[in-house]
Structure 1
Amino acid sequence: MFFSSLFQLAVKSVAQHIHNEKIPLDFHLNTKSSNAVVRELLKLDPENIRKLEKYRKQLSKLTELDLRKCRIDERVVLNLKNFKLNSLEFGELHLLKREFPDPTNIYGIDVVSLLEEAVNTDSREIMIHLGFTGQEEAFMSGWEKKISKLFPYLQSIKIIFKRFNERCPFSSFCVSFPNLRVLDISYARDLSSLNGIKNLRNLQKLVMCNAGIRNFHGYQELSELKNLKVLEVSGEE
């Protein structure tokens, strides 16, 4: 039988009190506690993401944030600048079309402007993981080069969208993020090969579940990744 630790019980208690807004404001949590409380808070209700604005001082040590189940608007995005984040999962980018439009693309958003608004200077210097999901129309041409300049120390990227194409050639993507250690490109259906992945010389883990590579020769450059330790490949579930 599994018993929760005192820390886990305390985290659930604090999260529940924040959820109910029945907690005094004279508390400050450290990094470990802030990350754990916010994870629990968003499990209780994804709408609790809006409570981070009210409790931003108490949770100021927050460094990890997963927004995949949250409904995000401009106010939520702007509040993220109050935190020094090293890991950020955005979730469905198409839900932000009205908030951060790309004037050159009626179908998508300007993901670069979105990240500039959401992440402060300190976060850019320490960000090691970034994740987002969306249709390829959500990415303006050249986005990967601009994001690599915003976040020079990224080690992990999780991108779930259907196509690497002229809007984002896979080879150009690999050249833009040479320091990656973890890459998740699951569901990239139109990815014909992994040409260019040899540039990710530090890559240790590659996840490409339900990716669309059908030709065995498309995997040839994997043999040049001497640091690759984990390869997750699967077909349709």
Structure 2
Amino acid sequence: MSITLDLNSDLGEGFGVWQLGDDLALLKIVTSANVACGFHGGDPTIMRRVCAEAVRRDVSVGAHVGYRDLAGFGRRAMDIEPDRLADDVLYQLAALDGIARAEGGRVRYVKPHGALYNRTVTDQAQAAAVVAAVAAYDPGLPILGLPGSQLLRQAEEAGLTAEREAFADRGYRPDGSLAKRGSPGALVTDPAEVAERCVRMATTGRVTAVDGSSVTVNPRSLCVHGDTPGAVELARQVRGALQDAGVRLAAFS
């Protein structure tokens, strides 16, 4: 049976004169782009440039929503009231969708970023806030997240489409959560190792955790972070390895 998989990357995360990652190069490789919406990274000019190139290359645009935390790149834990968080997510989603539509496209899905992504794995209230914002804007938009997370559970309960994501370049704990950045094995940077991991996840639905155990992920989409060292070469090798293994690459949305 043939396997179809999405390959996504977090893009548009620079700000003003500060560039982060090579968005245009990655857009030649991935099938979906998680575009920063101005809260953890990105600005209107960057958002428009990435959306325009994504539309030109037929790459699916996703809203990469996060906490309002430019200084911490959205990776700092923050306590935000659920109602306010829902408003913040709605604001980011609507802004990116407006820009994408101006370039002939539209937002096709939503994926939280950084600390918000990790928080919604276990925090029911924060997960519910993200789901409420997406449902209010467009209940037809899928939400991309970690398998078994509160976010995906609540998305399904609300009647939204929940899509499972796995990470090409991040280490996993035995419980299926991501290893904390800075901890041993949290970031995988060797291109050959990353490519082998991705082929295994695509063909067997499993990945080896930092303690050597096997974790079930069954991804619909694989993420290569745009700010990982050597991200373009990583993504290129992942794409090539998946295609060599007979995996068809296509956007899930």
**Per the shorter chain, which TM-score range?**
0.3 to 0.5
Q: Scaled by the length of structure 2, what TM-score is found?
A: 0.32
